Amino acid sequence: MQKELVTALVAQQTRYAILSHTWIRDSIPGDVIYKDWATRTDNPRGCAKIAQFCKVAATQHGVTLGWMDTVCINKDSSTELDESIRSMHKWYRGSHVCVTYLAETHAVADMHVDSWFTRGWTLQELLAPRDVQFYNKDWANLGPATATFADSWAVDPWAVDPVWSLPNSDNDSDNGGSATEASAGPGAALPNSPNNSDIGDPSIESWGDTWISHANSILDIQKKILEATSITKAELELCKRGETDVIPISRRLELASYREVTREEDVAYSLMGLIGVDISIAYGEGAERALFRLLREIISAKKNVLDIFNHGYGSLVDGVSDNRLFPSSIKQYTYRSPHFDLSGSMVLDPWQETSVLDYWQPMEPIILTHLGVRVPLLFVPALASLVPARYLMKGDFYGHTKICIQTSGPSVHIRHYDLLDRTIFDEAAQGIVPTAGWNVNGPRIVNFGVLNFGMDGADILLPPLCLAVALNCGKAIPGLVRPADRMRILEARTPPVFSLESAGNQRRIAGNELARHRMQIVVLSL
């Protein structure tokens, strides 16, 4: 018992607030930094930010300790900088409250256009803390990003005990705003939840109405977060509960792809905590190399990794043209497919998979070699068609898909493909090479390499929805492609996604039957 009391006392006394903000860039000298601490009063604007943060932390959140990156990291020390960057997620997660200062925001109505929502590091600062409290440019509290009781109060105001308090009008003048300007925020504590005998008391009914209004204010903030970032209420709740891993990895990478950073390598470094991997800091290596090392660590450290291949393969991003499974730019995750996501609900079991792709384990480990990512693929040949239409298939399976192929510059061409069309194999039997019929809009014959198939003994298990990579295998005979054949990943804007249909809705193929359907398994390094 004594140990628990000591632990609780230490936890209470070491609570700290942490600041999330954008650095002052429109004036010199900007923010007060570590080495300028002794002369901080020479920088009134930067010093005022520190003072206001400390005041809010102490008077509104009851803490005596605070942390902010500008003055708490000695960036002249590479060791301290490296340790700080790797620890950042843990520090934000461990905070009692994250005071989020929106320097360009007047009210909730315009918070979505604040540049805070566009910066790379602030993604982590939004999702890692347990309690994010937004403040406007005058340090008036706008309200929190999440509140676990909000939905219950909107339905039944007596269903959940209040866990945080309403604005105190006595503090409005200090905050530079009024209760109408600040939607909600900490202040005077609310009374205990009323019992049944209190129902009908006008003051209690008013109290309940206030709480419902308060819950609606939180929903207004969440709508603005959604508008600014595409982050949903469910995703915010998952992160608040510490269940960030329930959000698919490619989705977390997508969220980062919309943001800007000052140091290009930070596109990768700022994601370490959100993804749960660790890489060394090496400023100067460039964004592409930093992202490569991050993805390499993911496939080394994570069990379910197919989702990291859920991205666009086009060269329409930054003028990049790739022939590999790893993207060279995080911007390519902007074009991921959401069809495999399971994290749309906020009542998920934290132990369940984050993506439909996680149900499928490859027949052998996916590893990185000097030749590229070594991965098993189920090859499904397809023939270009003008529009999806009925056709004769080779075997029992059929399907249609379309891909947006980049042709020249930023232009893309949508091309339809019939999966396992008999014509492909009849032509091959006649000696017609697969490259015949190529045009600027893409190859006539494409091999779709399905990533998410399974094995049960010698049997092949087909998913209801396939995630594939589109490959031009040149003169290789469809159904008889070898790893040594020359092939290239097509520059498709979005990853190919399709279903393989059959008359009996088959999802299992005997190993000795695969050739009859003109499919094959190939292990490639891409």
pTM for the complete prediction? 0.83
Rounded-to-integer distance, Cα 254 and Cα 335, Å: 8
Predicted pLDDT at 161: 37
The torsion defined by the Cα of 466, 471, 475 and 478, in degrees rounded to 10, comes to: 0
- Residue 473 predicted with pLDDT over 90: no
Helix axes 233-240, 202-229, angle to 10 degrees: 100
| Residue in the block written with tokens 């060269």 | 315
Which range has the worst mean pLDDT, 106-110, 466-470, 488-492? 488-492
Binned at pLDDT 50, 70 and 90, residue 212 comes out as: confident
More confident of the two residues 261 and 151: 261
Q: How confident is the model at residue 169 (pLDDT cuts 50, 70, 90)?
A: very low
Residues 6-34: what's their mean pLDDT?
83
Shared domain check, 181 and 35: yes
Predicted local confidence at residue 141, as pLDDT: 96
Q: Residue 150 pLDDT > 60, yes or no?
A: no
3-state secondary structure 77-128: CHHHHHHHHHHHHHHHHHCCEEEEECCCCCCHHHHHHCHHHHECHHHHHHHC
Would you place residue 354 in the very low, low, confident or very high pLDDT band (cuts 50, 70, 90)?
confident
Average pLDDT, stretch 64-93? Answer: 93
Which residues, at least 6 apart from 157, have a Cβ–Cβ distance to it below 8 Å? 208, 211, 212
Answer yes or no: is pLDDT of 320 > 90: no
> How would residue 15 be classed by pLDDT, with cut points 50, 70 and 90?
very high
Provide the pLDDT for residue 272. Answer: 97
Instruction: Please compute the mean of the pLDDT values over residues 335-342 and round it to a whole number.
Output: 93
**CA angle at residue 512 from 511 to 517, to 5 degrees?**
90
Q: How confident is the model at residue 125 (pLDDT cuts 50, 70, 90)?
A: very high
Q: Which domain holds residue 255?
A: 249-356
For range 454-480, the mean pLDDT: 91
User: Does 440 score more than 90 pLDDT?
Assistant: no
Taking all residues of the chain, what is their mean pLDDT, rounded to a whole number? 83
Query: What pLDDT score does 41 carry?
Result: 85
| pLDDT for 215 | 78
* Bigger pLDDT: 28 vs 10: 28
* DSSP string covering 260-324: B-SSTTHHHHTTHHHHT------TTS-HHHHHHHHHHHHHHH-S--GGGG-S---S-STT----S
Q: Identify the pLDDT of residue 37.
A: 87
> Of the residues 242, 274, 301, which one is the last residue of a structural domain?
242
Confidence of residue 407 (pLDDT cuts 50, 70, 90): low
Same-domain pairing of 213 and 286: no
Q: Among residues of the chain, what percentage have pLDDT more than 90?
A: 56
**Do residues 184 and 324 both lie within one domain?**
no
Q: Are 64 and 183 in the same domain? A: yes
Which pLDDT does position 433 carry in this prediction?
A: 65
Q: What is the pLDDT of residue 426?
A: 82
Number of domains the chain is built from: 3
Q: What is the pLDDT of residue 487?
A: 84
Buried b (16+ CB within 10 A) or exposed e, 384-406: bbeeeeeeebbbbbbbbbbbbbb
Same domain, 478 and 502: yes
Say what the pLDDT of residue 36 is: 84
Domain boundary residue, one of 242, 276, 308: 242
Neighbour order of strands in the sheet with 141-144: 65-67, 16-20, 97-101, 132-135, 141-144
User: Tokens for 239?
Assistant: 């992160």
Please check whether residues 236 and 257 belong to one and the same domain: no
Q: Are residues 401 and 464 in the same domain?
A: yes
Range in 102-116, 231-245, 332-346, 450-464 the model is least confident about: 332-346
pLDDT of residue 435: 61
Q: What is the mean pLDDT of residues 310-339?
A: 82
Residue 29's pLDDT is: 85
Residues 352 and 378 in one domain: no
Q: Do 320 and 428 fall into the same domain?
A: no
Same domain, 166 and 28: yes
- Give 190-204 pLDDT, tens digit per residue: 334 444 444 455 555
pLDDT at 133: 96
pLDDT tens-place string over residues 257-312:
999 999 999 999 999 999 999 999 999 999 999 999 999 999 999 999 999 999 99
Confidence of residue 391 (pLDDT cuts 50, 70, 90): confident
Task: Give yes or no for a contact between 68 and 98, defined as CB atoms under 8 angstroms apart.
Answer: no
Residue 350 pLDDT > 60:
no
Question: String of b and e for 10-20 (b: at least 16 CB within 10 Å)?
Answer: eeeeebbbbbb
Q: Which of 356, 379, 414 is the last residue of a domain?
A: 356
Rg, the chain, Cα only: 28
Instruction: Check residue 393 and give its pLDDT.
Output: 81
Q: Is residue 466 domain-shared with residue 410, that is, in the same domain?
A: yes
Residues 56, 165, single domain; the answer is yes
